[in-house]
Amino acid sequence: MTKKEQKYIIAIDGGVATGKSTIAKAVAKELNFVYINTGDMYRAVTLYFVQNNIEITDENIVSNINDIKITFRLENNNVITILNGEDVTEKLHSANISKLVPLVAKVKIVREKMVELQREFAKNNSIVMDGRDIASVVFPNATLKIFLTASLDERARRRKLDLEKRGEYIDIDILKNDILKRDKIDMEREESPLIKVEDAVVIDTTGHNISDDVNTITELLKRRTEI
C-alpha cells in the first residue's frame, strides 16, 4: 500500500465539554483528514423525536429508527448534519437536546445504526472522530486513541459560553449538575459506556490553548506513522 492509500483513524473520546469537538476539528484541518462528530449523530436522532413530538421510550425508538436518515455534507470546512433531508446543524446543541440525548444514545439499536454509519466514513478517508466509544467499540484498531479530560469548572464555563452563543442563558451551577448527570448516564449505561481504553493517551485540556493540544495530537500521530 502506498503512503497515499494508507488511511488513518484518530479516535478522540471524553466526557461532556472536555474539548473534543473543538480539538478534533482543528486536528482534522491540520492533517487534512475528515472530521466526524458522532455526538451530532445521536443528537440528530434525538431531535427527530422532539420535532415529531414522540416520547423518548425504548419502544418508540425501536419502532421509529428506520424512519430516521442522517447524512453529512461538508460546507466551507464545516460539517452540516442532515436529518431526513433537513439541515439541522444549528438545532443540535440546545440545552434540551443535550439533556435528552443520553436517553436515546443508550439504546442498542440506535448505537448499532450509528456505529455502522461511523465505520462507513473510514472506508475511504483518513478521519478524526470524536465521541464516547470510538476507541472502545467503533475503531478498537484506531491509529491513535486520545482521551480528553478537563476540570468541572472549565467544562461548565465552556458549556455556558457555547449556549450563550446560541442565545440560551443558564446558571453555571445548573450546567455543572447537567454535565455530571450526563456523564454518569454515559458512563454507567450497559451499551458501549464511556470508558478510557488502556492504550489511550490522556490529555487534560484545563487551561490549555487549543493549539497546544492540537500539536500534541498531530505530533503523536506523526511519531506512529510516516505522515
Residue with the three cell numbers 478537563: 150
The least CB distance from residue 131 to ligand C5P, in Å, is: 2
Nearer to ligand C5P, 186 or 221 (CB): 186
Contact 203, 213 (CB under 8 A): yes
Q: How far apart are CA 200 and CA 44, in angstroms?
A: 28
Stretch that binds ligand C5P, among 48-56, 63-71, 126-134, 199-207 (CB under 6 A): 126-134
Least Å distance, CB 222 to ligand C5P, is 26
CB-CB contact of 133 with 15 (8 Å): no
Give the phi and the psi of residue 74 in degrees, each rounded to 5: -90, 130
**Position 42 contacts ligand C5P (CB under 6 A):** yes
In this structure, which amino acid lies at residue 162? D
Segment interacting with ligand C5P (CB under 6 A) among 1-9, 130-138, 148-156, 195-203: 130-138
Q: Kindly list the distances between the CA atom of residue 158 and the CA atoms of 12, 75, 96, 118, 192, in Å, as whole numbers in the listed order.
A: 18, 25, 17, 26, 26
Site for ligand C5P in 131-150 (CB under 6 A): 131-134
Of 10, 12, 16, 36, which lies in the binding site for ligand C5P, with binding defined by CB under 6 A?
A: 16
Single out the residue of 28, 102, 148, 217 in contact with ligand C5P (rule: CB under 6 A).
102
Largest CA distance in the chain: 53
Name the residues that contact ligand C5P, by CB under 6 A.
16, 20, 38-39, 42-43, 101-102, 105, 131-134, 182, 186
